[in-house]
Structure 1
Amino acid sequence: MTSNAGSGEMTGVMVEKDMREKHGFPPEFLNRLDEVIVFRELTRPEMKEIASKMLEEVVRRMREKGMELRVTERFKEVMAEEGYDRSYGARPLRRAITRLLEDKLVDMMLAGEAKEGDSLTVDVDPEGNVVVHNRRAG
């Protein structure tokens, strides 16, 4: 189980006390936990690395469909920014990738704008919009 309860700058006993007092966890619940681990908030470079790993999965799935997908560094930076939330860490990143990339790729495939053999490049235009360029096979 993960929670953002007590996600501030604290350690050890302070966390348990904070969880009990501020977040209303009863002692019975806290006694069922083996331990409480406090995670520090993610940095921007860490978010970019997580975004890269998540995007590798999208690249792999597109390869399985016979399409090459290239992701620019600029797009990775936008993903890291869009998916960043100080309180929730990388959780919003998955939704950002779905909203800004996967939905667009699905629409392109359904419209016949992307198909097996194509080479796609995901980038961000000067206005900050996500764009997918298709270099058609053949």
Structure 2
Amino acid sequence: NSPKGLEATREKVWQVVRSYFRPEFLNRLDDIVLFRRLGFGELHEIIDLIVAEVNGRLRSQDILLEVTDEAKNFVLENAFDAEMGARPLRRWVEKYITTEVSRMILAQQLPPNSTVRVLVNGSQGKLAFSVKRSFVSE
């Protein structure tokens, strides 16, 4: 992550690019952008953003979604792919959290002013959902 290390990496990438592509194509390139892998804290923040987006959709029904740190770690363990980056996180949250909350709404298990807390059921090794009826909308 040091400037010298980044420059050395950039030069290695350029060497590979030069050996692979023709000069006509290389003349059209302005720059090569290098990305570093996302860290654990950044991935947690991405999950927070996804949950905030879901909460935005639930707000009209006066329902709040809370995801514990343990559940976020569970999501990361099951959804994160180093090659794909954070992209699978959104799909995983939609498939396993948002879908379950939607089912709960349709089954009328989530009345207005409810909070759904997502945690990990340690004995079963899967997500668990608890409902508390005390959320007050602002």
Q: What is the Cα-based RMSD across aligned positions, in Å?
A: 2.4
Structure with bigger gyration radius: 2
% identity of equivalent residues:
33
Distance in 2 of aligned mates of 1:94 and 1:25: 35
| Change in CA separation of 1:83 and 1:113 when aligned onto 2, cut-off 3 Å | same
Which structure 2 residues correspond to residues 1-138 of structure 1 after superposition, within 5 A? 11-19=9-17, 31-126=27-122, 127-136=124-133
SS in 2 for 1:74: helix
Aligned residues: 126
Q: 1:11 to 1:82 in 2, by over 3 A?
A: same
SS at match of 1:11: helix
TM score, norm. by length of structure 2:
0.74
For structure 1, the 5+ residue unaligned runs are 1-9
- Contact preservation (8 Å) 2:81, 2:88: yes
Mark the CA change 1:105 to 1:13 in structure 2 (over 3 Å): closer, same or farther: same
* TM-score, normalised via structure 1 length: 0.74
Note closer, same or farther for the CA distance 1:117–1:18 as it changes in structure 2 (3 Å cut): same
